[in-house]
Amino acid sequence: MNVQEGTTLGAYRVMERIGRGGMATVFRAYHPALDRFVAIKVLPDFFADEPDYRERFQQEARSVARLKHPNILEIFDYGYDDGTAYLVLELVEGGTLAERVGKPMDLRDVVHLLEPLGSALDHAHAHGVLHRDIKPSNILLQQDGTPVLADFGLAKMTGAMHRLTSSGTVMGTPEYMSPEQAADELVGPASDVYSLAVVAYEMLTGRVPFLGDTPAAVLLSHVTKAMPATRELRGELSAHVEDVLRRGLAKRPEERYPSAAAFVAALKPAAWPSRHLDEPSALPTRRLALPDRRPVVLVVDDGAANRELIEACLAGVECHVRTAEDGPAALKSVQAS
């Protein structure tokens, strides 16, 4: 079926095309009986006729339908109409993260966006689902900026832990793939943690860590090259941030953070180094005045120039400096203290 504006798929009327990916086209659609707008993801007919691709598409429906999380795109329905396979999805109309990356973002904004995504990924992993294609264009944004993880088209049941690929084809987006995924090896939740770290690196520096003239060159870089230093790209990023990213982008899966949420949590101290001071308490507090235990140095000299010179020499010493020009003045100063 040639799906276009006005086409009817099941109970849904197609309105307009809003996106196109490597495996599917996404349309805005309307359900008249429910008075609800949705997104419909349509698999091309020549893919729908191939059992392997249809199975992968149905797998997305099955795997995502079992995930109930506010930051995972909800799936409403799956259908097959006149040779066309499609998914009915929650409609998110605030754009994608891909429209915001390209220049460095504020660290606090990055953490605010990544935190719910880390929670969403951990939820998926807890239910045996890998994403396998985490990238900015698969992170949708609600109108209020809330991120929603979408496109589990490469999702994989972690219980099986075998390759999703066929005929030696590696599935994923080279710039965001983990070393084990790039090498077409077995993958687990740590692979998604790596991809999320790539997204974090791009958000903070304005570019992905590994570039190349060909997809193969990019994949090889993930496997063999060290992460480029973030402070060479953005000098104000702290050593702590660089250390967190390096661990998130570790070549060996077991050396990465144990979960996506743990990776994001590790960035927080750099984003809010004095958070306890930034967030006022709900109740007023009274500070206790602590005694000043610094020693007092009394300089006695009848020459003003000498007194000033000695006082200047003591400027870097933790002490109180008092001056007097003669004995009586010095005694008076001591009695007053």
Give the model confidence (pLDDT) of 201-222 as tens digits. 999 999 999 999 999 999 999 9
pLDDT digits (tens, 9 = 90+) for 107-123: 999 999 999 999 999 99
Residue 169 confidence (pLDDT) above 60: no
| Residue 112 structure tokens | 């605010």
**pLDDT on residue 329:** 78
Second CATH level (architecture) for the domain 97-278: Orthogonal Bundle (1.10)
- Segment 151-166 mean pLDDT: 49
**pLDDT for residue 17 is more than 80:** yes
Return the ∠ at Cα 327 (arms to 325 and 330), rounded to 5°: 70
Confidence of residue 240 (pLDDT cuts 50, 70, 90): very high
Closest Cα partner for 41 from 6, 71, 72, 14? 14
Which CATH architecture describes the domain 8-89?
A: 2-Layer Sandwich (3.30)
Per mean pLDDT, which range of 69-73, 141-145, 162-166, 266-270 is the poorest?
Answer: 162-166
Of 197-206, 219-228, 271-280, 295-304, the poorest mean pLDDT is in 271-280
Cα-flanking dihedrals φ and ψ of residue 286, to 5°? -115, 125
- Tens of pLDDT, residue by residue over 291-301, are 455 567 787 87
Amino acid identity for residue 191 in this structure: S
At residue 47, the pLDDT reads 67
* pLDDT for position 40: 93
Residue of 35, 122, 133, 184 marked active site:
133
Residue 234 phi, psi dihedral angles, 5° rounding: -150, 95
pLDDT value for 275: 65
Query: What tokens does 325 get?
Result: 């020009």
**What percent of the chain clears pLDDT 70, i.e. is strictly above it?**
79
Calculate mean pLDDT across residues 88-102.
Answer: 94
Q: Per residue in 20-46, pLDDT tens?
A: 876 778 999 999 999 999 999 988 776
Q: Check residue 58 and give its pLDDT.
A: 77
Residues 125-140 have a mean pLDDT of 94
Whole-number pLDDT of residue 281: 36
Residue 316 has pLDDT above 70, yes or no: no
Q: Is 244 left (phi over 0), alpha (psi -120 to 50) or beta?
A: alpha
**Quick one: pLDDT band at residue 178, thresholds 50, 70, 90?**
very high
**What's residue 312's pLDDT?**
56
Identify whether 292 is a catalytic site residue: no
How far apart (Å, rounded) are the C-alpha atoms in residues 98 and 107?
Answer: 17
Highest mean pLDDT among 61-65, 193-197, 231-235: 193-197
3-state secondary structure string, 194-246?
Answer: HHHHHHHHHHHHCCCCCCCCCHHHHHHHHHHCCCCCHHHHCCCCCHHHHHHHH
Rounded distance between C-alpha atoms, residue 198 and residue 45, angstroms: 33
Average pLDDT for the chain: 83
What lies within 8 Å, CB to CB, of 331 at 6+ separation is none
Lowest mean pLDDT among 12-16, 28-32, 54-58, 124-128: 54-58
How far apart are the C-alpha atoms of 166 and 188, rounded to whole Å?
Answer: 18
Residue 172 predicted with pLDDT over 60? yes
